[in-house]
Chains A and B, each alone.
Chain A
């Protein structure tokens, strides 16, 4: 059976003195049995270090790691009942595909015939049956990654760790492998802990995602929640393509309560959000490109001209430069009027706006509320 993985106030520093790096800061979370849990964030955010601590390849500076009910903090990687797929594939170049996949079983001391048997089964599910006699150097990037996955799953590990396994593949292959990994997750009944910098991978595969930045988990939630209810501005701009537009707005006191001055357009604020804006002079307003539409120019509203139109097939990505010089991205149906250079007004429903605190970045109000 799989087991849960619990990180308790995990902290990791590298080096000492002026060049010290605080890679992971006070990270606590629990990953459930058979969950597909993803750490996502920009490079240097601490996601890989966290995964390596779970694998036993790094020792935490402080904090504990629990595998089910046992304290695994001090266990060496050999004793952890985990398997790992590495970013650089890390196949043994002098061994055949057969020996690479079978390596964990041979170390466990299984007889040659049993090892061969299992290797052939795993190779068949990964479409590698005719590659067993070859060396890794003779395979394509996608095949190498399959071999690495085969080596990881052959021991039927309780926890499967994957460190950016798809980053070395080209875009098309990456999509295929995503499906493959999801299928494996269903068949293996193992907990998968996945690390990526690609938010699309995180969103499409995971049951839950931890968005990391500077060694902290900013938010841990299912993909849909991250998209709809981001806890702060960094998460809001990281999740979703194209990225959410962030525009500074002034908060104006009116007799009816605070109103927003947004790129020359005045917007009333719904009464239930008045308390959140209390005492603020300005806020960061976020709006997703998909929530914007282009309409003919109208006075008193956000107006500008189409600066750039990028056709994506069904939709176009449109960059609009407002009269004030701000640039806002919108996603619209392709081939509509408003070619590059045309004047247009940005139309949106006020309830699609997100408001973020100007200093802390914390979300004051969610677009869907």
Chain B
């Protein structure tokens, strides 16, 4: 019975794996298939006419590299600002008593419920007035607006499980509050900080709404908007779009691959 259960579990996992992995496989396969061969029947699961032509075209004939850099700047900016702001806010919420703490915490979570579209249009008007459309700063701030609330919530939960006595032990040892935070609190909260970083990256990297509305200048497009523009042109070059999709998933894949250990502990702490 036990062996049957194990076997059934394994079979189910393989089915799920197939469902998840096949589109991914098809994406990679299409990206290395020459343009002429892509829509030539019969369609086969294994093709051998390997070519990097799509990638060459993508990198040298389009603005892809620029979009990639734009996305990277926005994502790195969002990660850095989110980590700093969420860590300090989470620490403050657990360690200091101040008026309006509860409303603040619930307001934070409430603001996370807004769909991005609801904020995008007011932000368009606001950033127009501030001349912050088509700037990295504007885009980073917009991305923070959607990721920071949850990140603060996350770090708040995290600092609650770091015992206050650790910091107090550092204080009576002579450490200042900032030093105790840095040397004693932050190492214990590291899984939380990494979760914040990954979450901020994912939201920024995948964001379409804000980038589409705020970045009207072609040179400021991010990857999701840039990729969409490939599709809208007459005659979609699917091989190239797939090559772009592969390159877009590489950073996400690397990040999750190297940080999955921390990501899992992070999810456990909040769940």
Do residues B188 and A103 form an inter-chain contact, with CB atoms below 8 A?
no
Within 8 A of A (CB), among B155-201: 163, 165-166, 168-176, 179, 183-184, 187-188
Q: Are B173 and A151 in contact (CB under 8 A)?
A: yes
In the complex, what residue of chain A is closest to B175 when comparing beta carbons? A107
Q: Select which of A77, A91, A108, A148 is within 8 A of B168 by beta carbon.
A: A77
- Of A35-43, A81-89, A347-355, the stretch lying at the interface with chain B is A81-89
Chain A residues whose C-beta falls within 8 Å of the C-beta of B176 in the assembled complex: 78
CA distance A77 to B169 in the complex (A): 10
Does A90 contact B174, Cβ atoms closer than 8 Å?
Answer: no
Q: Is the CB of A77 within 8 A of B171?
A: yes
Smallest CB separation, A65 vs chain B (Å): 15
Chain B nearest CB, measured from A222 CB (Å) = 28
* Residues in B neighbouring A342, C-beta threshold 8 A: none
Q: For residue A155, which residues in chain B have a CB less than 8 angstroms away from its CB?
A: 173-174
Closest Cβ neighbor of B169 among chain A residues? A90
Are A86 and B174 in contact (CB-based, < 8 A)?
no
**A84 CA to B171 CA, complexed, in Å:** 10
Interchain nearest-CB distance for A115 vs B (Å) = 13
Residues of B near A31 (CB, < 8 A) are none
Nearest Cβ distance between residue A190 and chain B, in whole angstroms?
14
B42 to chain A, nearest CB (A): 58
CB closest residue in chain A, given B173: A104
In angstroms, Cα B176 to Cα A52, docked, is 17
Query: In the complex, A107→B170 CA distance in Å?
Result: 9
Q: Are B163 and A103 in contact (CB under 8 A)?
A: no
Q: How far is the CB of B163 from chain A (nearest CB, A)?
A: 6
Q: For the complex, is A92 an interface residue (Cβ under 8 Å from B)?
A: yes
Q: What is the CA–CA distance of A155 and B174 in the complex, to the nearest angstrom?
A: 10
Q: Does the CB pair B172–A55 fall under 8 Å?
A: yes
User: In the bound complex, what is the Cα–Cα distance between A91 and B165 (angstroms)?
Assistant: 9
In contact, B187 and A84 (Cβ under 8 angstroms): no
Query: Which of chain B's residues has its CB closest to A107's CB?
Result: B174
Asked whether, in the complex, the Cβ of B170 is within 8 Å of the Cβ of A103, the reply is: yes
The answer to whether B165 and A88 touch across the interface, beta carbons within 8 angstroms, is yes
Residues of B within 8 A of A107 (CB): 173-175, 179
Interface residue range, chain A: 20 to 34
Do A90 and B175 touch (CB < 8 A)?
A: no
B173 and A86: CB pair below 8 A?
Answer: no
- A88 proximity list for chain B (CB < 8 A): 163, 165
Contacts of A55 in B (CB 8 A): 168, 172
Min C-beta distance of A287 to chain B, whole Å: 42
A90's partner among B166, B179, B187 (CB-CB below 8 A) is: B166
Enumerate A44-96 residues with CB–CB distance to B below 8 Å: 55-57, 76-78, 80, 82-84, 86-88, 90-94
Q: How far is the CB of A191 from chain B (nearest CB, A)?
A: 15
**Which residue in A57, A108, A148 is a CB contact (below 8 Å) of B174?**
A108
- Rounded to whole angstroms, the CA-CA distance of A121 and B171 in the bound complex is 24
Q: Which of A319-350 contact B (CB under 8 A)?
A: none
CB distance from A20 to the nearest CB of B (A): 14
Contact across chains for A77 and B172 when beta carbons are under 8 A apart: yes
Q: How far is the CA of A87 from the CA of B163 in the complex (A)?
A: 12
Contact B187 A94 (CB under 8 A): yes
Contact assessment for B188 and A84 in the assembled complex, using a CB-CB cutoff below 8 Å:
no
A90 pairs with B168, CB closer than 8 A: yes
Known: A77-B168, A151-B169. A94 touches B174 (CB 8 A): no
A residues less than 8 Å from B184 (CB atoms): 92
Inter-subunit contact A57/B171 (CB<8 Å): yes
- Contact in complex: A90, B188 (CB < 8 Å): no
Contact partners of B173 in chain A: CB under 8 A: 83, 103-104, 107, 151, 155
Tell me whether A78 and B169 are in contact (CB under 8 A): no
Tell me whether A84 and B169 are in contact in the complex, defined as CB-CB below 8 angstroms, given that A90-B163, A94-B188, A107-B179 are known contacts: yes
Contacts A90-B166, A92-B166, A107-B179; A82 near B174 (Cβ below 8 A)? no
B-side contacts of A161, CB under 8 Å? 172
In the complex formed, the residue of A with least CB distance to B174 is: A107
Assembled-state Cα–Cα distance A50/B186 (Å): 29
**Contact residues in B for A103 (Cβ distance below 8 Å):** 170, 173, 175
Q: A78-B176, A107-B179 are in contact. Are A90 and B165 (CB under 8 A)?
A: yes
CA distance A173 to B171 in the complex (A): 29
- Taking CB atoms, residues of chain A closer than 8 Å to B163 are 88, 90
User: Could you name 20 residue pairs across A and B whose Cβ atoms are closer than 8 Å?
Assistant: A57-B172, A77-B168, A78-B176, A84-B168, A84-B169, A86-B169, A87-B165, A88-B163, A90-B163, A90-B169, A92-B166, A92-B170, A93-B187, A94-B187, A94-B188, A103-B175, A104-B173, A107-B175, A151-B173, A155-B174
B residues engaging A (CB < 8 A)?
163, 165-166, 168-176, 179, 183-184, 187-188
Which A residues are within 8 Å of any B CB, using their own CB? 55-57, 76-78, 80, 82-84, 86-88, 90-94, 103-104, 107-108, 148, 151, 155, 161
Known contacts A77-B171, A84-B168, A90-B163; 9 further A-B pairs (Cβ under 8 A): A82-B172, A84-B172, A90-B165, A90-B168, A92-B170, A92-B187, A93-B188, A103-B173, A104-B173
Top 9 A-B residue pairs of the complex, sorted by shortest distance between their CB atoms: A90-B165, A104-B173, A90-B169, A94-B187, A107-B174, A77-B171, A84-B172, A86-B165, A77-B172
